[in-house]
A and B are shown apart, each in its own frame.
Chain A
Amino acid sequence: MTVFVIRRFLQSIAVLVVTAVIVFLGIYAIGDPAEMLISPDASQAERAQVVASLGLDKPLWEQFFTFTWNALHGDLGRSFVFNRPSIALIFERLPATLELTLTGLVFAILLGIPLGLLSGLKPNSATDEVIMTGSIFGFSLPSFWQGMMLIMIFSVWLGWLPSTGRGPVGEFLGLHSSLFTLDGLKHLILPAINLSLFKLSLVIRLTRTGVRETMPLDFVKFARAKGISERRIVFVHVFKNILIPLITVIGLELGSMLAFAVVTETIFAWPGIGKLLIDSIMRLDRPVVVAYLLVIVSLFIFINFVVDVLYSLVDPRVRLGDAS
């Protein structure tokens, strides 16, 4: 188990290094770093100062060293627009994005698993057909358009829910989140639904496939032959088996949702890192773009690592590290 965690950790570091190199090459080797990282309205003196601090006059490998060194110290450049360290801007907005993403994920899981079970236990029934067609519909709906329709229906026509921004932040058990105020919740509902619908389809399909693949296995029949109740067979025997792929995929999807939050945040003007990214791209505020990419990739790699460790906790074959 420990060996597994350590090996997995080293792998994560390796992926992080590879991505850092790719991002670095993207900025320094393909583009012109001076143009990308120095504000267009900087004076000649400022320009020279930045060139010196980034080592742009030095060979590429030395630039990479400087880049990595700075990155490790949390220095990912200063925003042209805000004139503040870009990393600080990212961390300021990260909680809003995490709150949105996690709420969306919880939506997807709470709805998706029961629907998937329902569908998988009665394959080819009318219920199954409706749920499955619905799920194809769900992932065919372009996320941004679906968000617009939510706004049109629930904000413009019905006027039930606010369409933009994040509500006031409340405090509960030392945590700060808009989940803890009524107005905050109201603001959160539409964006969270928007972000979760796509993943909902995935969770449904995954659960259904898992159920359908597990139900015909011998151990299910054996459990029946032992006189175990159908409920226990489904919720213990089958569920524990499908939990393994489910955790893996849901975990990985958390990362993809963080990235997809860009779309949701743009539509709902949610003040998270995704909106910051798009705004920065539009304003050519490249240090923030670079910082976003590095932060989100690190976050993503970290999530993958945690998922794999969790996975190994659920699967005894991995946990005991002696799969034969």
Chain B
Amino acid sequence: MREQPKNQISPDGLKVWRLQEIIISAVCLLIVIAVAVLSYYFHWPYWISGVLGAVWLLGSIVTVFIIPKVRHKVWRYEVHEHEIDIQSGIFVVTRVIVPMVRVQHVDTSQGPLLKKYNLATVKISTAATVHSIPALEMEEADRLRDSISRLARVTDDDV
């Protein structure tokens, strides 16, 4: 197999992913607390809240600390002259080759969290699939979008 794509996602991207997971985990914590309160009033067995709490703790550790780290380590991309090479995944590492001539259009998008860190996600659409490069620095994302759409000349009218 040829060597990995060169570029990595910015370290701020890791922060944003962590932040997203923390928000989700906080919402889950609220649910767990709600269950605990309910079991106090309705005299449900204690082990229910105990198990839920343990699951929450374990899940939060995995989703907040481990998964974003691995994801960030695996995520790589490289824009060549004729194709885009993207590597992603956590347990299953996927390498996608998107030829420039197959690219239909390129979008950048930015949610509130990404905006805070001046990051953006680039979405590359072919006739059948959509691929994204998440959490790039804004300037890098804009540059990438422009260069991809410039390189993606329309050559084939039959998709």
Please indicate whether A and B come from the same complex rather than being unrelated chains. no
